[in-house]
Amino acid sequence: MLQKAESKVEQMTIKITSLDTKNKNFAKIFSDKTRINKSLNSKVLNQVTKIVSDIKKNGDVSLIKYIKKFDGYKPKNMKNIAITNLEIKKAYNFVSKGEIVNLKKAINRIYKFSRKQLSTSWIEKKDNTSLGEKVTPIESVGIYVPGGKASYPSTVIMNTIPAKIAGVERVIMTCPMSNIRDHSLAIVAADLCGVDKIFRVGGAHAIAALAYGTKSILKVDKIVGPGNLYVALAKKTVFGDVGIDNIAGPSEVIIIADSSNNPDWVAMDLFSQAEHDELAQSVMITTSASFIKAVKNSMSKLISSLPRKKIILESLNNRGMLIKAKSNNEICTIVNKIAPEHLEIMCKNNKSILKSIKNAGAIFLGEFSPEVFGDYCAGPNHVLPTSGSARFSSPLGVYDFQKRSSIIEISKATADQLSKIASSMASAEGLQAHAISASYRSKNKN
């Protein structure tokens, strides 16, 4: 009995890495902790490639085979994988009035924020010449929502609302769900947001079905939404045949904090990121060594009360860090290098620090702006760039569901001017037909 008790205490020990930027080995440890092990990808990619190819070739026949193998239920035929209107009505019976009220409040906030991102067509006229852009919505979009044992209504609303605001005609949702009850809130969210069709299918086979179409699932033009490694690699595989939002990696947060903060709040914010999965990354950076100790104490005090503590502990052990930096300037350098998905700035001078931040998916300012509000209801989208991609990409928005076509209408007078420029440049590039085409529009040729 004593050995079991000691083992339990050992499992509850938080082994998060503490670092000081002054240490000689800081750069190596920091690099090792932020690097993602991709050795598994090649094996999974081979499996994903076979699945995608199989669905592309055999459609529904292969799709139902993979549903039975991977999705946890055995439908009699393809008709059973589509959620019916009757099932949607039943889903409302499994959801409380309070849940629906709060869901509608979240939808309203996200809708209002997203409306501001809507682009419109424009034309500028000068000297009888018109230049501009025609903005049109993508016609069809597939939204992937993770399933299994958990339900994710937040994923539904974050992906559907900007698509609908953009004017997407057909939004199809796929989610691996064996029963309505466990995913009732996600189904209700889909209904409230205007999803046109829901299919109970997941994994790489769902992505392939959306990308290439089957008899039961119509092909879409773009696929968005998070998923596991199989889903991420499937999206990467079909990219080019369809558009995608991004290749999502493990979720991550960096918290910049000072000693004015409540260490319990900071500890729980770190936990909230770590509980996603074992590869999630939770990092705090501060100039205060004493505050690191305070956060560690809070972690030890709070961890035992959390249902997902095993996942949290493994996540913190794998990739968690508490970093002592020399200055705020050094902190900003570290943050910009990581380019985190989420960044909380919990300092008295947070606006000053914000000015030096160049790379981050979503930035939360102040102690009353935890990342969890962004996950569910603050307003901005929670689909964010991960794994350092905030250096070159942005959160999901209405603009991701719109296309722009250039409009060019040249007057006779302007054509005469442009013909000289274009023919000169075309000749320099050795493209004689280009040059002649341009010269035809010169007034000397008329």
- Decide: 177 and 21 in contact? Cβ < 8 Å: no
- Candidates 397, 336, 398; CA nearest to 363 is 336
What would the DSSP string read from start to end of 12-23? T---PEEEETTS
Three-state DSSP at 373 gives helix
Catalytic residue among 252, 342, 367, 371: 342
Catalytic residue among 205, 252, 275, 341: 341
Residue 341 annotated as catalytic:
yes
Look at phi and psi of residue 344 and say left if phi exceeds 0, alpha if psi is from -120 to 50, else beta.
Answer: beta
- Decide: 331 and 325 in contact? Cβ < 8 Å: yes
**Cβ neighbourhood burial of 220 (10 Å; 0-12, 13-18, 19+):** buried
282's enclosing H/E stretch is strand 281-286
CA dihedral 155, 160, 163, 166 (to 10 degrees): -120
- Decide: 14 and 200 in contact? Cβ < 8 Å: no
- Candidates 404, 328, 419, 418; CA nearest to 118 is 404
Long-range contacts of 57-62 (CB under 8 A, 24+ apart): 59/209, 59/213, 59/214, 59/215, 60/214, 60/215, 60/216, 62/205
Residue 342 annotated as catalytic:
yes
Helix H segments across 116-202?
153-166, 184-193
Q: Which active-site residues does the annotation give?
A: 341-342
